[in-house]
Homo-oligomer: A and B are copies of this chain.
């Protein structure tokens, strides 16, 4: 395997074989997570490994994605300032500025980096992965379900297992539209710039809707930006409920 092949061929896997991931392999993935770079070396994330079938089912309902409950491994990556706040309190009698937005973002970043690092490791050893941003459809309920203490917040979910499907590689827009030199570049007409991509996207078959071609990218953008899930818009209010301060 070419060094970068698994990364260049990344695709989301949503259907897994029933075969569990051997515990030794799972431990290796968690060893990789452990070595991930973190902001200031502060390790401001935690992982909840969801093994209880009822809890998996409840999370699948939050996600509005039945297949979430069937993932052999389901991990929820959370931003975590609780642990360091407790360490500071025990050591120096104060949690200091553990709750501010800077720390909140550091935790979010740490959680995302660890999640992607685990995905890279999983794909290197023949596993498939799906990210679940949809856990945020109801972050408040998820906090309750996982008994998340103050100064923690769920960031992203991850389903892992042996792939039971071979999806087509999903087309992406050209890098000329998103990699710029020295300053941001806007375009006069984005629809002109993405015309080929819009067309290419319609040759892609999403296995979630088998045999049905997907919309052009620009139509997808319009549909997504119109769709509002109230509880997702409340994300900062829920973060504040979890003790983070603006």
Contact = CB atoms under 8 A, between A and B. Distances in A.
Contacts of A173: 43
A57 interface: no
A211 interface: no
A42 B224 contact: yes
Nearest to A52: B182
A23 interface: no
A22 interface: no
How many copies are assembled?
2
Interface range for A: 35 or more
A131 interface: yes
A117 B172 CA distance: 16
Given A36-B116, A97-B225, 19 more contacts: A7-B32, A8-B35, A10-B37, A33-B179, A34-B172, A40-B220, A48-B182, A48-B184, A50-B181, A83-B177, A87-B218, A90-B218, A102-B136, A105-B235, A112-B113, A113-B115, A117-B120, A147-B183, A236-B246
